[in-house]
Amino acid sequence: MIKENQFMPDYAIPPGETLVEELEAKSMSQAELAGLIGTSKEVINEIIKGKTPITAEMALKLEQVFQLPSHFWVNLEQQYQETLLQMQVNQAVNNTKPLFNEVISSARYLVNPSGHKTDVVLSLVVWNKLLSLLEKWDDRKVVQ
């Protein structure tokens, strides 16, 4: 659950940033790393840019080169993906808030497609439940 005072960045840092730091610490190029672990320089570059995820297999290979446990790399990737998803959810919620404010200020009832009146307050209760489910989803930890 997101706490009221919890910092929620509006950016996500790909695990490739850490990979760059490790490459620099070893004075190693992307091409050298690619050769050591049996992949292409392009794949390494895509990981660095955050366009290709670090898989469990890749994490094991990185562990051999950098002596950082594979779960370290997997966790970085998981945190990155969760942050990206949370940013998308936040954006969707923020995009929807003005619509609900307009509905509340303009009318108490909406007419649904079947022609029946829908109580705005009831609709807001449903919306509130959706937000609650999203917060519960935010609390769960997904193991990939």
Domain locations in the chain as residue ranges: 16-77, 80-139
Write the single-letter amino acid at 115: G
Q: What does each of the 144 residues of the chain score in pLDDT, given as a tens digit? A: 455 566 666 788 999 999 999 999 999 999 999 999 999 999 999 999 999 999 999 999 999 999 999 999 999 999 999 999 888 888 887 777 777 666 666 655 555 556 565 555 556 666 777 777 777 766 654 444
The CB-side HSE value for 113 (13 A sphere, CA atoms) comes to 0
- Taking the whole predicted model, whether its pTM rises above 0.95 is answered as no
Contact partners, residue 139, CB within 8 Å, separation at least 6:
1
Alpha-helical runs (H) found in 4-139: 16-25, 30-37, 41-49, 56-66, 70-106, 120-139
Q: Architecture of domain 16-77 in CATH?
A: Orthogonal Bundle (1.10)
